[in-house]
Amino acid sequence: MVDKVTRESETFYFPIPAGTPYSIIAEAVNKFGVELTDKEVNIPEMADSPMMPKSWVIKGEKDQLIRAREYIVKKMEEMLEKFK
């Protein structure tokens, strides 16, 4: 008899590109069940600083995050088409 091994879902992060409109971020968060949060940015020159800079990221399970990322990219491309 083989024991069934269960694996807890892992959390992954995707950095939000600078300039992404809040409306697109909110749509992706709500549509794909990911979470908007901030994460410290590792900058070697600031390693000793008590105040590490932070960046917005979305976090969640890998599949959800991939779909959310694709959605954000698609929406940004549609938005940029308007400027051509």
Residue by residue, DSSP assigns 45-72 as: GGTT-SS--EEEEEEE-HHHHHHHHHHH
Portion of the chain with pLDDT greater than 90, in percent: 55
Q: Which domains does the chain have, with CATH numbers?
A: 12-41+53-81 (3.30.70)
Spatial strand order of the sheet with 12-15 comes to 12-15, 54-60, 35-40
Beta bridge partner(s), residue 15: 57
Residue 57: pLDDT over 80: yes
pLDDT band, very low/low/confident/very high, at 6 (cuts 50, 70, 90)? very low
- Does pTM surpass 0.85? no
pLDDT band, very low/low/confident/very high, at 76 (cuts 50, 70, 90)? very high
